[in-house]
Structure 1
Amino acid sequence: MPDTKVKTVNIQRKQTTLVGQLYYHADGRQHPTIIFCPGLGEDVSFVAGYAQQLAASGYTVYTFDFSGGSITGWSTGSTLEMSIFTEADDLRRVVRVLRQRPEVDASQLYLAGESQGGAVAAMVANDLNQQIAGLLLLYPAFIIPDDARKHYQDIDAIPEKIPHAFMAVGRAYYEPLLNYDIYAHLFDFTRPVLIIHGEADRVVPISYSRRAARYYAQATLRPIPGAGHGFYGRNEQVAIQLMLAFLSQSQSNL
């Protein structure tokens, strides 16, 4: 079992401070690295269980709070200014900085995320393609643009402040989604993709992940029977084992 350590690593993006936790190893060597993104309204504590177990299996793992992504996170920024596009900018900055760190094997850098964090990870992987070795997506929220269009048919109908996910978001969240096709921003990513999705998910139906899997050159969709939007207990352990098997196979093919 590797000797795993954790330290706070903050990253600056313009006027924003992104606060994160780096899980690393005492051996001083570079390890395959996973950047794990929490979902909307979540902070790093929501993905800490995944980070701890992946790190215990030999990976460097970085988790961070998106700017404005929750009311409990430590990163600066307003929830009223947050969107999947600002979160994508946050993640691109994190990738640039993490690639230079001594604990990180930049040739084996993976993006992971749950719900909205999974959708954002997918968007950024599509843009960075050759810098990212693979994607691990837990119930990714590819429903977000459809959900926006269901609530608002035109920009003028969007309020300045909208209750959403136990907090308030602003026009900036919904306005750019009305004409956005998220699936058009997936298929340039050619590396391996693992999608894990609960078959009983009522927040993001598994049909969204089934569709996404058809866009990727190398996608594996692993449904979890009976699981909803979020994995707990046995389902969380199933997801971790699926991720570890995927990572092992992906590295053997590098």
Structure 2
Amino acid sequence: MLSFSPLKPVSLFSSQYNFPHPAYTITTMKKVIRRALILLVALALVLGGAFFALKTLFPDLELTPQTITNITGQIDKISQQNKASKHIISHDTTIRRTTADGQTINLYGKVYAPSNYQRLKLPVMILAHGYNSNADFADSLAPKVAEQGYVVYAFDFYGGSTNSRSGDRDMLDMSIQTEKADLEAVLAHWHQQTYVDTGHIYLTGISHGGLISTMVAAAHPKDVRALILLAPAYNVPDLVKDGYQKLGFTSEDQIPPSVTYENRTIGRRYVLDALHYDPTADQKAYTGPVLIIHGTADELVPYSYSEAAVKNFAHAQLVPLEGTGHTADAQAISSALPQLAAFLLQN
């Protein structure tokens, strides 16, 4: 955080990168289709009581009550998505939360969704922006995701940037814990909507937003279907500890109301919360599916942090973007689209 610059908006689903993407080879597409067929055949056989036949056809498939639930859930999800309009609408939606000291915060956000989304039960993808960014990063990304049958919500963290429409533009009251509370309020809001497939709510975080998404998923594992993380900033605690030492602090009592380090100013609260946070614990706590996409040449959030994280998560996949830094462009990200599409199909 202390040395972050905003991750520039990436257009994973720009007009030139619609699903199915040219990066999909025929072999890849066959694999994805085969997985979908397995889901359909498995459900038919299970409902027909043909357990033995299913195990004979797919001996590597571990058939448990949870497997059956996942299969039926995926088919319901796809069925609803197939009914979604291709006409995408967007509108502002503000989510209110109350802080521990009684302050009311109005989190500004924007919904992107098929025009008939409130008559269906569609999956939801919540987008969490990076440090000193805001929801506008999703303007090109979100409509393309919505075209695939998702309700997409991007919002401004309170104090998340100098342009935050949720408040605290000096960013001095913000910390990883306040942003966690923001995202928890957003997650709770979407779980309360009757037109949402609450079994398929995804947290998608970029950089600092990836760290916050991990914190929330660990605290509410049953409410988060899966994590999709782009260059998650798991190095934040190390950066803060490094700055703490270089600034000569020997006691937390010495930390002033605001701290300037490497041309960035943060509040005392941010420093304290980061000093006492260990991402490893939350990585181990969340046992759901995780997809991490990260540039191997990232100097702001080193790729090694994602390499370590994928070993801590119970079910994680790391997709390297060879030679790409923290500022990712659409061409580099496009190489990860086959894995992203397969991940969403499976989860």
Q: TM-score, normalised by structure 2?
A: 0.68
1 or 2, which has the higher strand percentage? 1
Which of 121, 129, 142 is the equivalent residue of 1:30?
121
Which of 298, 307, 312 is the equivalent residue of 1:201?
298
SS at match of 1:58: coil
CA distance in 2, matches of 1:42, 1:240: 24
CA distance in 2, matches of 1:38, 1:72: 12
Which of 128, 132, 137 is the equivalent residue of 1:46?
137
Please state how far the C-alpha of 1:165 moved relative to its aligned partner.
Answer: 9.2
Please state how far the C-alpha of 1:46 moved relative to its aligned partner.
Answer: 1.5
Matched, 1:8 2:75: no
Matches within 5 A, 1:87-236: 87-153=179-245, 154-163=251-260, 168-236=265-333
| Cα distance change of structure 1 residues 44 and 241 upon mapping to structure 2, 3 Å threshold | farther
CA distance in 2, matches of 1:10, 1:139: 27
| Cα distance change of structure 1 residues 164 and 237 upon mapping to structure 2, 3 Å threshold | farther
Contact 2:114-2:147 at 8 Å conserved across structures: no
RMSD value, Cα: 1.8
1:169-222 deviation line (CA, Å, top 9, x unaligned): 211111122232121122121110000000000001011011111111100000
CA distance in 2, matches of 1:238, 1:104: 30
CA distance in 2, matches of 1:239, 1:37: 19
Please state how far the C-alpha of 1:56 moved relative to its aligned partner.
Answer: 1.6
Tell which deviates more after alignment, 25-34 or 198-207. Answer: 25-34
CA distance in 1, matches of 2:146, 2:334: 14
Percent identity of equivalent pairs: 36
Please state how far the C-alpha of 1:12 moved relative to its aligned partner.
Answer: 0.5
SS at match of 1:113: strand
SS at match of 1:80: coil
Please state how far the C-alpha of 1:156 moved relative to its aligned partner.
Answer: 3.8
Tell which deviates more after alignment, 145-154 or 159-168. Answer: 159-168
Q: Which residue of 1 aligns with 2:153?
A: 62
| Cα distance change of structure 1 residues 52 and 235 upon mapping to structure 2, 3 Å threshold | farther
**Corresponding pairs, count:** 250
Amino acid at match of 2:120: R
CA distance in 2, matches of 1:187, 1:18: 29
CA distance in 2, matches of 1:209, 1:240: 18
Contact 2:106-2:166 at 8 Å conserved across structures: yes
Please state how far the C-alpha of 1:157 moved relative to its aligned partner.
Answer: 4.4
1:220-246 deviation line (CA, Å, top 9, x unaligned): 000001111132131233345543321
CA distance in 2, matches of 1:240, 1:169: 35
**Which has the greater radius of gyration?**
2
Contact 1:41-1:165 at 8 Å conserved across structures: no
Amino acid at match of 2:89: K
Amino acid at match of 1:41: N
Gaps of 5+ in 1: none
Please state how far the C-alpha of 1:127 moved relative to its aligned partner.
Answer: 0.7
Gaps of 5+ in 2: 1-84, 99-103, 246-250
| Cα distance change of structure 1 residues 173 and 53 upon mapping to structure 2, 3 Å threshold | same
Higher relative contact order (CA 8 A, sep 6+): 2
CA distance in 2, matches of 1:140, 1:123: 11
Amino acid at match of 1:48: D
Contact 1:40-1:165 at 8 Å conserved across structures: no
SS at match of 1:222: strand
Tell which deviates more after alignment, 200-209 or 154-163. Answer: 154-163
1:49-68 deviation line (CA, Å, top 9, x unaligned): 32222112111111100000
SS at match of 1:152: helix
